[in-house]
Amino acid sequence: MMTDCINNYNKSIRVGRKVCAGTFTGVVRYVGPLPETESIWVGVEWDDLSRGKHDGTHNGIRYFKTLHPNGASFVRLEKIVPCNVSFMSAFKNKYGQDCDPGVDQEISIIMKQSKMPFFELVGMQKIQEKQACFDKLTHVSLSHLCITDAGVPGEIQNCCPNIEDLELCNNCFTDWTTVSQIAQQLKHLTSLNLSFNTINLPQEPIQVLKDSFKCLKKIILGKLNYSWYDIMSLCDAFPLLEVLEVPDNNLDRLETPKIVLENILYLNLENNNLSWSEINKLRFLQKLQCLNVNHNGIKDIQVVISSFPSLKYLMISDNDLLHWESVCELNKLPALNSLRIQNNPLLKSMSVSNYTLEIIARISNLTLLNGTIITHKERQNNERDYLKDLDMIWHRKLKNVEERAEFLAKHPRYMELTSKYGSDYSEDLNTSKKIKTIKIKIVNFCIESNSEKDVIIKTLPITMTLNRLKDLGKRLFGLGNKQIEFSYLTKEKPDIEYSMENMNQTLDYYSVEDGNTILLKW
């Protein structure tokens, strides 16, 4: 019986709905049973705080939380009546009460009756000024106001016809017919946010919504629990759509999009459950420039050749990427120049400077990484350092064709970078003598705080000068134009610090050996 009772009321009395109990009004924060009772109770946060008794806690159990410590109480379900809140009543409550198309006529009558053509009606003038402001409003936010309906036909158009950007998040809409009735009166509407509503889809959206969204270019449908099929059905009604945001919809499957998305420039799929194989289904979106797939649990990336031909900006932070091969795959995106990739397991154990080098060197067209501009010089330096490390492996460790093929699969830019810069690896073929390298620890050391900021282990040629090491250190640690000093410690005498003052001399000159530590001080 109790379950049947809840089901009968759940369409009209639900969390977030504006309700009445006698002469008092408030917002529903809870619907359900309370211990040791047989009734269904509604937890209401009251507009009039004097009506409240608590903050959502009953007998030591918290059911919801109110802003005011005594702003709420529980009321039996049968005593609660849902309130209808029109668009214009919510608008007036937020932006002002004076929005009446008959104001001009009233002023005219009073002016005639006064027989004083220069008589100034101060109150009426203020109304006119405010109404003129309503007419000029282009960006309106009516979120969290319990709106249920469009109100009297034509009243929105008469009061605020020039709205272009409208936020209607977390209201009490139940169907798209109501949304359509609002949009029909806003002929300039280009952006609409309907996130956090529970809006039932019509069986044939295009029939219900046609002609209501002729100018709409951007729509946000966050946390509506729509499937991709539902979203595509809706998009048929938005012929000019360029920006589609559908975060938090528990999407785990996509389909190749309809022609209706042919003009999409920005697509937000954040915080869903999509693998890259599903995202690949969108690869035919010819105009898509920006894709947000943050927080989807993506583990690996495999880009199909000729995918996303116009994609410039990719956001793929807060996923589960594990392997550098996934980053290499992104180099197949021909237009990609901006990437956000923070908070992935792949980068967890690395310093920012180290993973920055690895990413820049793997993706050839990046000019912006995690919001930081990549200069031409930085790219050259990072690519050269990356190439040096690969050169060592290629010439010293790879024994046969199979090993080299596997290496090239993991580092597909190696041959390109070798062609671009040439190989720094040197070997005398007659004597088989190779340039000696040493593995050292480079410490980023702040003199002012007398503390180590970062540590990197690098394999360097003993012929490297301190000037070249300074440039490398600035790139690795992001030190910009800071003044740099060098000293080093040996494994045998780690408490003795040896100074290195001549920046034109090499590591070999200072007798730096394998396993030593160089302090880069600033």
For residue 100, name the pLDDT band (cuts at 50, 70, 90).
low
For residue 99, name the pLDDT band (cuts at 50, 70, 90).
low
Determine if the pTM surpasses 0.75: no
For residue 97, name the pLDDT band (cuts at 50, 70, 90).
low
Same structural domain for residues 453 and 416? no
Q: Two tokens at 433? A: 């003598």
Q: Two tokens at 167? A: 């936020």
Q: Across 14-53, where does the E strand assignment appear?
A: 18-21, 24-33, 40-46
Q: Is residue 506 part of a domain?
A: yes
Query: What is the number of other CB atoms lying within 10 angstroms of the CB of residue 22?
Result: 9
pLDDT at 308: 96
Q: Give the three-class secondary structure for 366.
A: coil
pLDDT in tens, 464-506: 888 888 888 888 888 877 888 888 888 888 888 888 888 778 8
**b/e per residue 101-110 (b: at least 16 CB within 10 A):** eeeeeebeee
Q: What is the mean pLDDT of residues 377-390?
A: 87
Residues 6+ apart with CB under 8 A from 114: none
pLDDT at position 265 over 90:
yes
- Separation CA 234–CA 241 (nearest Å): 11
pLDDT at 124: 41
Indicate the residue among 82, 111, 130 that finishes a domain: 82
Cα-Cα end-to-end distance for the chain: 75
CA distances from 88 to 84, 99, 101, 239, 468 (A): 12, 9, 13, 27, 68
pLDDT at position 122 over 80:
no
Helix 376-396 / helix 466-477 crossing angle, nearest 10 deg:
110
Q: Two tokens at 17? A: 């709905």
Q: What is the mean pLDDT of residues 128-155?
A: 82
Indicate the residue among 36, 61, 82 that finishes a domain: 82
Q: What is the mean pLDDT of residues 440-468?
A: 83
CATH at residue 13: 2.30.30.190
pLDDT at 507: 85
Residues 6+ apart with CB under 8 A from 513: 438, 490
- Separation CA 181–CA 164 (nearest Å): 16
pLDDT at 104: 45
Q: Is residue 155 part of a domain?
A: no
Q: Is residue 279 part of a domain?
A: no
Q: Is residue 490 part of a domain?
A: yes
Same structural domain for residues 411 and 447? no
pLDDT at position 110 over 80:
no
**What mean pLDDT is reported for the chain?**
85
Q: Which domain holds residue 403?
A: 378-421
More confident residue, 172 or 430: 172
Query: What is the number of other CB atoms lying within 10 angstroms of the CB of residue 272?
Result: 22
pLDDT at 426: 54
pLDDT at position 2 over 50:
no
CA distances from 268 to 242, 265, 279 (A): 12, 10, 12
Contact call for residues 17 and 50 (beta carbons, < 8 A): no
pLDDT at position 140 over 70:
yes
pLDDT at 434: 57
Q: What is the mean pLDDT of residues 453-457?
A: 83
pLDDT in tens, 411-423: 999 999 988 888 7
For residue 238, name the pLDDT band (cuts at 50, 70, 90).
very high
Indicate the residue among 396, 421, 446 that finishes a domain: 421
pLDDT at 310: 97
Q: Is residue 479 part of a domain?
A: yes
User: Is the C-alpha dihedral spanning 94, 98, 100, 101 positive or negative?
Assistant: negative
pLDDT in tens, 331-365: 999 999 999 999 999 998 888 888 898 999 999 99
Count how many domains the chain has: 3
Q: Is residue 70 part of a domain?
A: yes
Percent of the chain clearing pLDDT 90 (strictly above): 44
Which ranges constitute the DSSP H helices of 59-169? Answer: 87-95, 103-114, 122-136, 155-159
Q: Is residue 294 part of a domain?
A: no
Q: Is residue 513 part of a domain?
A: yes
pLDDT at 11: 58
Same structural domain for residues 442 and 515? yes
